[in-house]
Amino acid sequence: MKTKKIYIQKSHIAFAGLMLLMFSLIVSCRKYDSLGFTPGTGKPTITSVHTWSKTDTTTTYDTIISYDASGNVIKTPVARTNKVGPFDSVTTAGNLGNYYIIYGTNLGSAVSVTFNGYTAYFNRALMTDQSIIVQVPSKTPYLPPLANDSLVVTTLYGKAAYKFTILAPPPTPSGYSNYDFYAGSQITLSGVGFAAVTGVTFGDVNGNTANVTIVNQNDSIMTLQFPSTSIIRGFLTFTYNSGGTSKTLTDKQELIDIDNTYQIFTDDFQNGWSDGSWASPSGKSTNAAKTGNASFIASYPAGGWKIEGFSNWWPSLPYDPSYTYLVFWVKGGTVTHTLNIETNTSSAGYGQNSINPITVPPNVWTYFKIPLNSIDFWKPGTTLQQLGFFLKGQNGDVDETYYFDDVMLVK
């Protein structure tokens, strides 16, 4: 009896083992069925990396067809740019955020893909034992010492490494310390891709250019010093290195050369302009400045209706249609206020105009570049002698102090 009992127990154990093996095979088959292939068990290799797509920046037009109330056909052209299409090309370098295809062997059991040590996401449903589609993460290091040009695929059976360079992004400013400059002044840019910049120029739409000096730079900050130019308004063009190739990029932010504008106040009163305010203190102040060392201080008493600003009784400024913008910086007071731009040359007259409002946030410098044709500013045939900023005070207001800098008209 004892022997029989042991035999029965062994039979149960053998049966349980057999069932476990069958279950493992079923699970394994289901796992591989979900992938559509059986991953190789050998050491992985990477043979090449290919591009996934290409962006076509050529502008093309689609025609949208619609019908009016009478049933007439209306054809409207719509511009299309930056079209993304398939593009298969072998590459050894890639851009942040782009998709690439890794080709090789025994890749099906991949558990991680890294670029320069930074983990990238990949979708197992889009892979085979010979390929992985992967996106380069936006935070992948691309500068030494973290960037070692290493693409690594790790599987259940080993690792495969491949030399793959992450290209530095093109210089992309996200912020400017100023949008106005004069000869010898500096502007600091914040953003990404500045470490690869080898040169900067300032130019306008007419082809005029001037070289700008790089004072200092790292990948996120670059300080520029501007020369004397004949350019009124223009854009920065960066020359930069991308994977050993020299490229150029022109930023879309327009800058203004103060030296080539009609100045009303820039560090002091200019061109015959003086203080034309209704309240005090007002005039030149060194308490705050956006450019240079001084600004125009303007006071608005609590609850008052006051116009602070500038006057020029002689020589004044006769109407000139070539002027395009009114430009200025203003530092707000304690709360957000609405100011109205006043001129003696508006259709309503000085002090009567409530149709040129601007909103000024508190305690920060805010830049205004206002097209003259968008406001009631200057009637043809008139002479500009007064420019002011009207704050209509209300009950509950407090005394407010504002600062204006780089007030000018720009052609």
State how far the Cα of 92 lies from the Cα of 163, in Å rounded to an integer.
7
Give the residue among 382, 344, 376, 373 at the shortest CA–CA distance from 357: 376
Q: Per residue in 176-203, pLDDT tens? A: 999 999 999 999 999 999 999 999 999 9
pLDDT in tens, 261-278: 999 999 999 999 999 999
Tokens of 119: 């983990």
Contact predicate 282/275, CB 8 Å: yes
The pTM for the full model equals: 0.80
pLDDT tens digits along 199-242: 999 999 999 999 999 999 999 999 999 999 999 999 999 999 99
| Domains along the sequence of the chain with CATH | 45-52+88-166 (2.60.40.10), 172-257 (2.60.40.10), 261-410 (2.60.120.260)
Cα–Cα distance list, 150 to 49, 113, 163 (Å)? 12, 11, 5
Closest CA to 147 of 124, 126, 167, 128: 167
- Residue 203, classified by CB atoms within 10 Å of its CB into exposed (0-12), middle (13-18) or buried (19+), is middle
Q: Which helix (H) or strand (E) holds 8?
A: helix 2-35
Q: Which of 64-73, 91-100, 151-160, 233-242 has the lowest mean pLDDT?
A: 64-73
